[in-house]
Structure 1
Amino acid sequence: MCKNTSLWRSYQTISFKAGQHPVYHSFAILTAFNPRSIVLNSLDNQKRNKILEKELAMLTESYFPVSCCASDGRWEEAGYIVDIRAEQAYLLAKKWQQNAIYWVEANQLYLVPVLLKGFEKQRLGEFSAFFSIPK
């Protein structure tokens, strides 16, 4: 199996955890962790995400932290739920060298390729099925 196909499949088995439920009709889930899915050390990933957060703060006040996790627990990345246009989200993801982003519209979760070639936007299901608020 091609490495990109394996990555694409792993992106489909996702769960999100945040301290609050998003109230936006549509939003992006963005991270600056692990550019091109190359695993960086924790300190570098945290620095990248802090810079991304500063960029988001200049674009909108409507964002908050989210944890993005593989459903089998193999990996976890910090990110942000952001109320911005899809085009803005795509450009930010490209800038931060992300292979794909998650887009939510009307409670439908989509996986959207950014740097990965040969893949199309894919509907994963109802966002609420992928989201939880930790106790």
Structure 2
Amino acid sequence: MNQSIARLWQHYQEAEFLFTQCLSSRISFAIITAHNPKGQVLNTCQNRLLDRKLQQEILKLSRPYRSIVGVSHDRLHMEKSWAVWTDKASAIELGCQFNQYAIYYVEADKLHLIPCLLTEHETSLGTFSSRVNVVSELPDGV
């Protein structure tokens, strides 16, 4: 694995999440973004266009979903994402379709980092609830 990919994988492991509601710890869901495919930082307009396309694909699944924002600990990096009540295989497929290196999957409040376009191993990241910040509204411009 090259150094830039290794650095991204480490950043993925440190992610936190902004949500506008608490979720039951009994549900399983994926967290998927379309932003910055293959780690390439795109401008806001490009990311919003990809996000709309991802939302259209999520709608085709006919599964519940919610908006969520993945953030770095210092809040300097944010990516609009979707919490989707779907199985892991379908979530990985969506991640690959949108050229994502990885997605997250939550089962019984356990957060997992799942590679899509990378050959890394699935990584357990502890509890999802410890990484969630419930906010009254999600940040603008993400």
TM-score, normalised with respect to structure 1: 0.94
Secondary structure in 1 matching 2:90: helix
TM-align CA RMSD = 1.3
Tell me the distance in 2 between the aligned counterparts of 1:116 and 1:61: 26
Q: What does 1:5-84 align with in structure 2 at a 5 Å threshold? A: 5-23=6-24, 25-84=27-86
Letter in 2 for 1:123: S
CA contact (8 A) 2:65 2:82 kept: yes
Q: Distance in 2 between matches of 1:20 and 1:50?
A: 22
Q: Could you tell me the TM-score, scaled by structure 2's length? A: 0.90
What is the deviation of 1:61?
3.8
Alpha-carbon separation, structure 2, partners of 1:98 and 1:52: 12
- Structure 1 segments (4+ residues) deviating >3 Å: none
| Alpha-carbon contact 2:111-2:127 (below 8 Å) kept | yes
Asked if 2 retains the 8 angstrom alpha-carbon contact of 1:22 and 1:81, the reply is: no
Aligned to 2:104: 102
The separation in 1 between residues aligned to 2:69 and 2:27, in whole angstroms, is 20
For 2:104 and 2:63, the matched residues in 1 are separated by: 19
Gap runs ≥5 in structure 2 = 137-142
SS of residue in 2 equivalent to 1:64: strand
1:112 corresponds in structure 2 to 114
